[in-house]
A = this chain, B = another copy of it.
Amino acid sequence: MNISTKTEYAVRALSELALNSADKPISINDICKNRNLPVKYVEQLFRKLKQNGLIKSIRGAKGGYQLALKVNNISLKDIMEAVDENYVAPFCNGKPENNVHCIGLPCGFKELWDEIKKHMEKYFDSIKLDQIVARL
């Protein structure tokens, strides 16, 4: 139960976008230079963020990335979901193959983990990028 490096890097990089890409796109290279992040790793994260519609890209020289949505419309949940897909993944997901510990027993744990998951998603969804950036 912790914030993954993926999430942390994504938040850092997206903050850079939020602050500096309003008029012209900013390249991963510049972002990583500014924020001291590993270029190739961030590239991977950005591909996922793009697939999830959080950012848009311009290819070729002078290209780079910009936010695809308003800063107040991108939540920490969106970021985590994009970059770290099962960011809330309890062990028992109710599927028999993952539930070897409850053989022959009624398993009341799935419900619990589901509830926790729902709570967390709601909470992370309430934290928006603009609030994050406002504090920097």
Contacts and interface: CB of A to CB of B under 8 A. Distances in A.
Interface of A: 1-5, 7-9, 11-12, 35-37, 80, 84, 86-92, 100-103, 105-106, 108-109, 111-113, 116, 119-120, 123, 127, 132, 135-136
A127 B86 CA distance: 22
Given A1-B1, A2-B1, A12-B101, A112 B90 contact: no
Contacts of A8: 90-92, 109
A27 to B, nearest CB: 18
B1 A3 contact: yes
B112 A123 contact: no
Give 6 nearest A-B pairs by CB, closest first: A108-B136, A3-B90, A1-B87, A2-B89, A8-B91, A108-B135
A32 B119 CA distance: 30
Contact of A123 (B86, B119, B127): B119
Contacts of A105: 35
**Considering residues A1, A87, A106, which has the most beta carbons from chain B within 10 angstroms of its beta carbon?**
A1
Contact of A80 (B1, B3, B7, B101): B1
